[in-house]
A = this chain, B = another copy of it.
């Protein structure tokens, strides 16, 4: 599982997340190709502008594409679309992925690697969990507020930490992006869902920030119960989320400043929410009763229309 010595990157989805990471990679000297949609003309003309707490920079010229068939095949294809666009992946991935290349999914949620594995084969799939606060404030203009670390793992079972993971990690580190390699991607996904399910869901249904949710005894209790339900779901796939982990996550959230979740930002902006990736897939693929997650899912689906 080696990638060539110099890796070409494709960014499918040049938004707040893909645009930020791709720009950092290019800024560090790597070869990056960006797929764009609405912002294509602006980015061709003016490049990408990154305002970052790590230092602002501009890339006046980037390899921008509107058509996947005009992109060169790449070693690492980063999927950073909203999951609500994932129905496009069967068309997008095959043309842009080199024979020995790998797809790196930097999306929220659960079960997306499986979808991609069905397209490109499970040996060519990796996942990453991003802990990033960034916004796209205009076409080709991204503001990076805080964090930025990625947990990186192979999708294929029991392969552990591979050489190509180290290669990708080295590229990201050279771009000042903290990377942690994990040997159990699914566990990392469950751990992230412990936070994402209660806070993304309740922030929309209750119209609240993380601080408002944590300060009220009832919503705080709901958060904890939903976290415990995620642990029940994880257990059914043989992954342990301990009570201690949940307690720590509650305490860490209490220390955060008031924060609008990504789902709340989408909802307020009138965008489709990532309900299926974060909630629907868990409910479909886990064989235990999850009454609270299920109720939150249905409430969100009502509000999504």
> What CA separation (Å) do A301 and B220 show in the bound complex?
11
| Cβ contact within 8 Å between A295 and B295 | yes
Chain B's closest residue to A301 (CB) is: B218
| A216 & B305 in contact (Cβ 8 Å cutoff) | yes
Chain A interface, >50% SS class: helix
Q: Give complex CA distance A113, B139 in Å.
A: 63
A221 contact set on B, CB distance < 8 A: 298
Q: Is A26 an interface residue (CB 8 A)?
A: no
Cβ A219 vs Cβ B302 within 8 A: yes
A295 contacts B222, C-beta separation under 8 Å: yes
Contact with B along A205-218 (1 / 0, CB 8 A): 11010000100101
Q: Are A298 and B218 in contact (CB under 8 A)?
A: yes
Alpha-carbon gap, A225 to B205, bound state (A) = 19
A291 at the interface (CB under 8 A from B): yes
Smallest CB separation, A302 vs chain B (Å): 4
- The residue that A206 contacts in the complex, of B213, B225, B297, B302, with Cβ under 8 A, is B302
Closest residue on chain B to residue A208 by CB atoms:
B302
- Expressed in whole angstroms, the minimum distance between the Cβ of A262 and any Cβ of chain B is 21
A292 an interface residue at 8 Å Cβ cutoff? yes
Contact A206 B303 (CB under 8 A): yes
A residues 231-282 near B (Cβ < 8 Å) are none
A84 within 8 A of B: no
Please measure, in the bound complex, the distance between the C-alpha atom of A225 and the C-alpha atom of B303, giving whole angstroms: 18
Residues of B within 8 A of A296 (CB): 295
